[in-house]
Amino acid sequence: MTNFGKRLETVKNFVEKNYPEYLERYGIPEPFVTTEFVDFDRFKNDFVLFLEFDTINFNPGPYADDCGDVLRLAANILLAFRNDTVANLDRKLMDASTAMHGMLRAEKLHKENPDMADNLTVRTLDFFKYVEGNKNLVAARFALEFEIAC
């Protein structure tokens, strides 16, 4: 049986351990990482990375008596920047998104962390300018999907 909290913690630990190395190439300091609810009023750090599960789909096989053969878990990684000029925020957001995509792609190709790389797919990358009407708050959301055996 899959422990959902443990899976989220595995992803969080992977990001905290590996992402700073990719960000370093762009001169961006590591973010504050949280699995708490996305709240821009509460988290006012210059760079915050929110990690949350979105959907868990159970796809039982015809003879499954529990969760089934395959579990699809969707997660979001939201990168948020603030407290800088509009031009710098845009640059940081693009660079941090490039670094995140590079890290996820490298992990999928090399599968150094099986818990993280199990059929990992980046589904979409969305950019948000002027979050909550604030020109000094920008964000990007990576929609990820993992397929794992139950």
Quote the domain boundaries for residue 21: 4-149
The alpha carbon of residue 62 and the mean position of all alpha carbons in its chain are separated, in whole angstroms, by 33
pLDDT at 95: 98
Half-sphere exposure of 146 (CA within 13 A, CB side): 24
Structural contact between residues 38 and 52, judged by C-beta atoms closer than 8 angstroms: yes
Q: Based on the structure, what is the number of domains in the chain?
A: 1
pLDDT in tens, the chain (150 residues): 567 788 788 888 889 999 999 999 999 999 999 999 999 999 999 999 999 988 777 765 555 555 555 577 888 999 999 999 999 999 999 999 999 999 988 876 656 665 565 677 889 999 999 998 899 999 999 998 877 665
E strands, 6-150, where? 32-34, 47-59, 70-82, 121-128, 137-149
CATH number at residue 52: 3.30.70.1700
